[in-house]
């Protein structure tokens, strides 16, 4: 009975709602129904302005500071030196990343052109400094021990049964009476402590290098699209710092820079597109070879302007080589 009454009330409420939005058979748009609201307009956050020249100045001296801290850590294996080394790398990242984003927001082409080489160089220096010391042969998947047992794992059962004192994992070595066990335990503790520090550094490097490569490739692909382009500058920087070949190819593809001579060619009307390299250049045509080995002759005027300029540049470079003694 109660349920039936509740259902009846619900039906009446729904009917009343339809009645209120329809008057004399005419639908009233909901936008016409007055609604009260106390909500204030949303204010978009204002991005802080960054002094690019000042920020770039902060990047100066990174290599020298990095070399000093790395040498100190390798020599003394001190926790403090490791903390300073990681802190320096984190600070470099925290300066470079917003700086890169700021450059891409700037509309003045001259400023972009002047500072992009500096930022690109610093990204690559940052990458190379970490890549040089990361251990590529070991994945450091085995975590260091938290507590070591004073008894070595390779001791035979007879020798372990002969121990006449209580020994617990993680105990201080000075409480061990047996000199052989104490010495062996101290050596393994020192080795584990050194491994723990190297493990921490290597894990940090592997993670940071991955992030750095991603941002460096993104920055190179975007910043070097700004005119005037500087493909030669970009290629030289990537080669100088031994940037990963696969990442170089991503950047080259974004800028249509030839990879092993191959580039994307396109007709003036945009209907035809092929990846090929130059085989020969004639007065009014160019001979191309596709990735599959097929050759084709294309009249220069049928190519887009960018491709025509590329052929002209290649022709001039070949002429310069011929004329040089």
Q: What gap in Å lies between CA 256 and CA 274, rounded to an integer? A: 12
Name residues whose C-beta falls within 8 Å of residue 143's C-beta, 6 or more positions apart in sequence. 199
**Length of the chain counted residue by residue:** 325
Under DSSP, the state recorded for 229 is P
Number of Cβ within 10 Å of residue 58's Cβ equals 13
Cis peptide before 142 (omega within 30 of 0): no
* Token pair belonging to 117: 């080489």
* CB environment 155-170: b (16+ within 10 A), e (fewer): eeeeeeeeeeeebeee
Task: Specify which residues 281 forms β-bridges with.
Answer: 286
What are the chain's domains? 50-151+173-257 (no CATH), 258-325 (2.30.30.700)
* DSSP letters spanning 195-223: HHHHHHHHHHHHHHHHHHHHHHHHHHHHH
Determine contact, residues 123/231, Cβ cutoff 8 Å. Answer: no
Backbone φ/ψ region at 270: left (φ over 0), alpha (ψ -120 to 50), beta? left
Give the sheet arrangement for strand 295-299, strand by strand.
263-266, 273-281, 285-290, 295-299
Q: What is the pLDDT along the chain (325 residues), one digit of tens a residue?
A: 544 545 555 554 545 444 444 444 444 444 444 444 444 444 444 445 566 677 777 777 888 889 999 998 988 888 888 899 999 999 888 888 887 777 766 656 666 666 788 888 889 999 999 999 888 888 788 889 888 999 988 889 888 888 889 999 999 999 999 999 999 999 999 999 999 999 999 999 999 999 999 989 988 888 887 777 788 888 888 888 889 888 888 888 777 776 667 778 889 988 888 888 888 888 889 999 887 888 989 999 999 887 887 788 777 767 765 665 5
Rg (CA), the chain: 34
What pLDDT does 105 receive? 66
Any idea what the Cα angle at residue 263 is, between residues 127 and 267, rounded to 5°? 140
Under DSSP, the state recorded for 227 is S
Q: What gap in Å lies between CA 282 and CA 288, rounded to an integer? A: 11
What pLDDT does 104 receive? 63
Residue in this structure with the two tokens 């926790």, named with its chain if needed: 79
Under DSSP, the state recorded for 293 is S
Q: What gap in Å lies between CA 3 and CA 224, rounded to an integer? A: 71
Treating both helix axes as pointing N-terminal to C-terminal, what angle do 245-255 and 179-223 enclose, rounded to 10 degrees?
10
Provide the whole-model pTM: 0.61
Any idea what the Cα angle at residue 117 is, between residues 51 and 127, rounded to 5°? 95
What pLDDT does 98 receive? 81
Q: What gap in Å lies between CA 253 and CA 141, rounded to an integer? A: 34
* DSSP letters spanning 106-175: ---HHHHHHHHHHHHHHHHHHHHHHHTTS-SS----SPPPSS--SS-TT--HHHHHT--S---TT--GGG
Q: What gap in Å lies between CA 234 and CA 230, rounded to an integer? A: 6
């Amino acid at each position: 009975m109660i349920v039936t009454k509740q259902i009846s009330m619900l039906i009446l409420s729904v009917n009343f709602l339809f009645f209120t939005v329809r008057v004399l058979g005419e639908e009233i748009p909901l936008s016409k129904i007055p609604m009260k609201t106390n909500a204030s307009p949303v204010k978009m956050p204002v991005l802080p302005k960054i002094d690019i020249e000042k920020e770039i100045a902060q990047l100066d001296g990174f290599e020298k500071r990095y070399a000093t801290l790395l040498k100190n850590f390798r020599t003394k294996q001190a926790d403090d030196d490791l903390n300073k080394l990681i802190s320096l790398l984190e600070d470099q990242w925290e300066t470079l990343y917003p700086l890169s984003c700021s450059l891409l927001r700037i509309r003045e082409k001259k400023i972009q052109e002047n500072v992009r080489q500096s930022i690109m160089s610093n990204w690559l220096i940052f990458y190379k400094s970490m890549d040089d010391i990361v251990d590529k042969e070991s994945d450091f998947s085995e975590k260091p021990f938290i507590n070591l047992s004073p008894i070595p794992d390779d001791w035979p059962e007879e020798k372990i049964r002969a121990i006449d004192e209580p020994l617990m994992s993680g105990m201080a070595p000075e409480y061990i009476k047996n000199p052989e066990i104490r010495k062996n335990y101290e050596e393994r503790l020192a080795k584990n402590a050194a491994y723990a520090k190297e493990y921490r550094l290597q894990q940090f490097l592997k993670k940071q290098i991955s992030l750095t490569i991603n941002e460096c490739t993104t920055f190179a692909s975007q910043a070097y699209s700004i005119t005037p382009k500087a493909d030669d500058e970009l290629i030289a920087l990537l080669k100088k710092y031994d940037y990963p070949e696969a990442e170089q190819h991503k950047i080259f593809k974004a800028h249509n820079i030839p990879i092993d001579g191959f580039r994307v060619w396109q007709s003036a009307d945009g209907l035809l597109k092929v990846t090929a390299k130059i085989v020969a250049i004639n007065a009014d045509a160019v001979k191309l070879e596709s990735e599959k080995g097929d050759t084709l002759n294309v009249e220069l005027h049928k190519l887009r302007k960018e491709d025509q300029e590329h052929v002209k540049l290649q022709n001039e470079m070949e002429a310069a080589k011929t004329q040089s003694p």
